């Protein structure tokens, strides 16, 4: 580069080629990741300008994907631990407890009348504690499924203590006959207005 700061024709052509290549690469990466990509041109007084594509978004995207995969792996381990718990029954075991066929158990699961969570290798597993004192599924289960959206959400709701229920679990509140409180708390959670 000349002392005047003016680029020679060749330097200008090389810079234009580098700039077009950087913009093209950045555009391709942006389309691939769905993220904004930045290209920075730094002009120096004593040497040729630098063109740098900010890898920040791509790096953040990759880091996010890695974090999500680690979270999914932790979730798979946690789900496996829950499903292998001593309180979990197979479809056949639940059918025997209820005095119905395995097909009926599956139908009731699909209708939300039973909480049944899919296992990786074991088919569906059913918490034995979802049965009331008479050995029947709690009558509130279909409403809980409708409010909370799925078996894992219902399991979590019934297993965890809730401030709205005086610190007891949803299950313990059902056992205590607090059906209205349980359904009200589930509705609050579904609306996002829980404490």
Distance CA 146, CA 88 (A): 22
Q: In terms of pLDDT, which residue wins out, 194 or 92?
A: 92
Tokens of 134: 């008479």
Burial class (CB in 10 A: 0-12, 13-18, 19+), 50: exposed
pLDDT value of position 182: 97
Q: What is the pTM of this model?
A: 0.66
Mean pLDDT in residue range 93-116: 97
Together in a domain, 149 and 170: yes
Together in a domain, 185 and 129: yes
Tokens of 31: 């389309």
Together in a domain, 99 and 182: yes
pLDDT class of 106 with cuts at 50, 70, 90:
very high
Together in a domain, 125 and 184: yes
- Closest-CA residue to 91 (of 67, 115, 112, 56): 115
Distance CA 29, CA 12 (A): 26
pLDDT value of position 65: 84
Outline where DSSP puts E strands in 43-173: 50-54, 88-90, 117-118, 124-127, 161-162, 168-169
Together in a domain, 107 and 141: yes
Tokens of 7: 């680029």
Residue ending a domain, among 46, 79, 112, is: 79
Residue ending a domain, among 79, 101, 131, is: 79
Distance CA 194, CA 187 (A): 9
Residue ending a domain, among 56, 79, 102, is: 79
pLDDT tens sequence across 129-167: 999 999 999 999 999 999 999 999 999 999 999 999 999
Contact 89, 98 (CB under 8 A): no
| Domain span holding position 142 | 87-191
Together in a domain, 184 and 124: yes
In a domain, residue 53? The reply is yes
The total domain count for the chain is 2
Distance CA 182, CA 164 (A): 9
In a domain, residue 129? The reply is yes
pLDDT value of position 117: 94
Together in a domain, 52 and 103: no
Contact 107, 116 (CB under 8 A): no
Together in a domain, 19 and 74: yes
pLDDT tens sequence across 10-60: 877 887 888 888 888 888 888 887 877 787 878 777 777 777 777 665 666
């Amino acid at each position: 580069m000349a002392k005047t700061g003016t680029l020679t024709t060749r330097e200008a052509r090389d810079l234009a080629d580098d700039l077009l290549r950087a913009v093209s690469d950045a555009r391709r990466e942006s389309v691939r990741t769905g993220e904004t990509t930045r290209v920075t041109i730094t002009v120096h007084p004593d040497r040729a300008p630098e063109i740098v594509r900010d890898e920040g978004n791509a790096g953040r995207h990759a880091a996010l994907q890695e974090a999500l995969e680690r979270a999914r792996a932790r979730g798979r381990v946690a789900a496996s631990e829950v499903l292998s718990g001593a309180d979990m029954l197979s479809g056949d075991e639940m059918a025997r407890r209820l005095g119905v066929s395995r097909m009926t158990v599956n139908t009731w699961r699909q209708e939300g009348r039973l909480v049944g969570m899919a296992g990786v290798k074991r088919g569906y597993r059913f918490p034995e504690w979802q049965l009331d004192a008479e050995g029947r599924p709690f009558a509130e289960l279909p409403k809980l499924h409708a409010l909370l959206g799925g078996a894992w959400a219902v399991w979590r709701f019934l297993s965890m203590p809730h401030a709205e229920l005086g610190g007891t679990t949803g299950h313990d509140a059902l056992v205590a006959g607090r059906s209205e409180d349980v359904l009200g708390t589930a509705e609050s959670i579904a609306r996002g207005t829980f404490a």
